[in-house]
Amino acid sequence: MSKEIKERWKLNNYIWQEVVNVIPDIDTIAALATVNKYFYKIVGIDFKTRCIQNGIYRLPRELWSEAFSHVCRRFDNHYYNLFASPRLSQNTSRISAILNNEVIVTTIDFNRHFIQTFKIRGYAYHLKLYNKGTRFILRPAFDGFLRVYDVESRKLLWEHPIDYLEKKRRICIMSDFCIYDKRTKEVYDPYALKAHKIDIKDVVGFKCAYNDYHDYYFSFHVKPFDAEREVVVMNVRTKKLSCFPVQHVFCDEISRGNCDDKVMPATECVLIFDNVTNDVKIYDIPSETLKHNFHFETTYTNTLFLNETMFVSTQ
């Protein structure tokens, strides 16, 4: 006798979706997703992506859905204590950390058995894994150089002297490892492994917004003497410049690199915060059009560490 359930007795997709919606705990949902591909699709959660985005590691012979169900038991445990401040590469399972005089690149997916180590001189405070986990940028504490390494080949790809940064802060501005030099009007870009010539006058502030999976951007605060202050956003790939008006931004904040703007590469938008009126304006970068205008009653938002998804959800 066949053990298969006859088609007329099977619950349809709509009913199963309603069942999933009322399941109260993630353990049950994860267990249902592991039954077969049909139920994985019904559950509708990409557990691998969720784990990678939130730094949840997977043990050998473990499914990503099982790893996700153990999220409460995998924060602040021995694995993360060992790495102190691990840096996850954007949307990949690779992770990097500095241990003593070594840079270690490994993975939170312990089924893959991947590890690379790099000896460094002295100590380094700043490290970033990027390009889907295939490269990392290193800024040693006392070396005087910014360096880019390839993870697979272990080769040094690019380096740029930075010992002058402390002496000439008003001349050079560093943001997300990119350096803008006001004298030469160049941005030294470790992501592209080259320098970009920038034809923009009266620059007083600079920021880099890098993203592995989208175009990335440079933003420049410009203070011309005969016009209103503005933010100029440059798409690094296309070199296209877009201009947006700015009001009530104080010069001392700009000189320290604390410009109240935030470029969001994933949505091709820029947020600009007004320190005085507490207004946040969201512009579409390609078309230079205003998409949204928000007002905050509190003045606590003037650091503009704003969550991108908070504004995307309002569209």
Residue 293, domain member (yes or no): yes
- pLDDT band, very low/low/confident/very high, at 204 (cuts 50, 70, 90): confident
Identify the pLDDT of residue 304. Answer: 45
Is the pLDDT assigned to residue 256 strictly greater than 50?
no
Identify the pLDDT of residue 138. Answer: 93
Residue 262: which of 315, 304, 229, 222 has the closest Cα? 304
Is pLDDT larger for residue 258 or for residue 56?
56
Residue 80, domain member (yes or no): no
Identify the pLDDT of residue 55. Answer: 82
Stretch 14-19: mean pLDDT, rounded?
87
Residue 128, domain member (yes or no): no
State the chain's mean pLDDT as an integer: 81
Tell which of 28, 57, 73 closes a domain: 73
Residue 273, domain member (yes or no): yes
Identify the pLDDT of residue 85. Answer: 52
* Cβ atoms of 133 and 120 closer than 8 Å: no
Identify the pLDDT of residue 252. Answer: 40
- Provide the 3-class DSSP secondary structure of residue 202: coil
Identify the pLDDT of residue 226. Answer: 52
How far apart, in whole angstroms, are the C-alpha atoms of residue 182 and residue 74? 46
Residue 296, domain member (yes or no): yes
Residue 181, domain member (yes or no): no
Tell which of 51, 73, 95 closes a domain: 73
Identify the pLDDT of residue 83. Answer: 53
Residue 95, domain member (yes or no): no
For 21, the enclosing helix (H) or strand (E) is helix 13-21
Q: What share of the chain is helix, strand, coil (3-state, %, to 5)?
A: 20, 35, 45
Q: Torsion angle of alpha carbons 231, 236, 240, 246, nearest 10°?
A: -10
* Cβ atoms of 249 and 275 closer than 8 Å: yes
Q: What is the pLDDT of residues 63-106, one digit of tens each?
A: 999 999 888 777 555 555 545 455 677 778 898 988 888 899 99
Q: Torsion angle of alpha carbons 210, 214, 215, 221, nearest 10°?
A: -40
Is pLDDT larger for residue 178 or for residue 275?
178
Residue 304, domain member (yes or no): yes
- Residue 289, token pair as written in the block: 């059009």
Structural domains in the chain (count): 2
Least-confidence region, from 174-178, 273-277, 281-285: 273-277
Stretch 290-302: mean pLDDT, rounded?
71
Stretch 187-212: mean pLDDT, rounded?
92
Identify the pLDDT of residue 315. Answer: 36
Is the pLDDT assigned to residue 236 strictly greater than 80?
yes
Tell which of 73, 102, 117 closes a domain: 73
Is pLDDT larger for residue 84 or for residue 56?
56
Amino acid at 274: D
How far apart, in whole angstroms, are the C-alpha atoms of residue 65 and residue 39? 12
Is the pLDDT assigned to residue 255 strictly greater than 70?
no
Identify the pLDDT of residue 64. Answer: 92
Is pLDDT larger for residue 85 or for residue 138?
138
Percent of the chain at pLDDT exceeding 70: 78
Identify the pLDDT of residue 152. Answer: 94
Is the pLDDT assigned to residue 122 strictly greater than 80?
no
Stretch 111-118: mean pLDDT, rounded?
91
Q: Whole domain around residue 275: which residue ranges?
A: 203-315
Identify the pLDDT of residue 116. Answer: 94
